[in-house]
């Protein structure tokens, strides 16, 4: 993993076919990375400036720099997946896993241009009622 990948993860993205994209995995890794960095920096700052009385601020910092951005990234991911589901063949297939943008049969990430089975294994989603 090089520094560009780490910077992408910091912004909740990972490279797919050379382009940074938001994925659930990237959001989780980005959250862990940001949390780790903030805790390490906080540890040294608190120790150096004797800020033990202000530990409660760490909760707000974690929310504004980790929780809220991760939540917004997840909302964007969900919106992209809704658009993807409505505009592609894979999006209407029962073997498509929306949370990971994954074809469960081929274990590949379909895109708007790439349908791993080329439509041969497509089956409609089952609808209740
Ligand atoms: S089986 Fe074919 S249509 Fe269905 S998700 Fe996989 S690649 Fe897409």
Pair 66, 37 in one domain: yes
d(CA 67, CA 83): 25
First to last CA, the chain: 47
pLDDT at 100: 79
What is the residue whose two structure tokens read 């797919």?
A: 16
> What residues does ligand 1 touch, defined as CB less than 6 Å away?
89-90, 93, 95-96, 103, 105-106, 110, 115-117, 121-122
Write out the two tokens for 128. Answer: 């209740």
Pair 19, 64 in one domain: yes
Pair 48, 65 in one domain: yes
Pair 53, 112 in one domain: no
Ligand 1 centre distance from Cα of residue 100 (Å): 13
Pair 102, 81 in one domain: no
Does the global pTM surpass 0.85?
Answer: no
Pair 11, 68 in one domain: yes
Strands 19-21 and 14-16: antiparallel
Ligand 1 centre distance from Cα of residue 48 (Å): 56
Q: What stretches in the chain show pLDDT beneath 50? A: 129
d(CA 101, CA 127): 20
pLDDT at 127: 63
> Given ligand 1 and candidates 103, 108, 112, 120, which is best to mutate, with the most ligand atoms within 8 Å of its CB?
103
Pair 75, 51 in one domain: yes
Pair 58, 102 in one domain: no
The total of structural domains in the chain comes to 2
Domain that holds residue 122: 93-129
Helix (H) or strand (E) holding 103: strand 102-103
Pair 56, 115 in one domain: no
pLDDT at 129: 44
Report whether 71 contacts 52 (CB < 8 A).
no
């Amino acid at each position: 993993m090089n520094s560009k990948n780490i910077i992408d993860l910091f912004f909740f993205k990972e490279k797919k076919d050379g382009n940074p994209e938001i994925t659930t995995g990237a959001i989780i890794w980005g959250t862990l990375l940001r949390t780790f960095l903030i805790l390490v920096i906080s540890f040294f700052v608190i120790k150096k400036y004797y800020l033990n009385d202000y530990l409660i601020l760490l909760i707000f910092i974690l929310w504004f720099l980790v929780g809220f951005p991760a939540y917004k990234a997840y909302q964007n991911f969900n919106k992209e997946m809704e658009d993807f589901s409505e505009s592609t063949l894979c999006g209407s297939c029962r073997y498509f896993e929306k949370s990971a943008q994954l074809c469960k049969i081929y274990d590949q990430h379909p895109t708007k241009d790439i349908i791993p089975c080329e439509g041969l294994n497509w089956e409609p989603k089952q609808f209740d009622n």
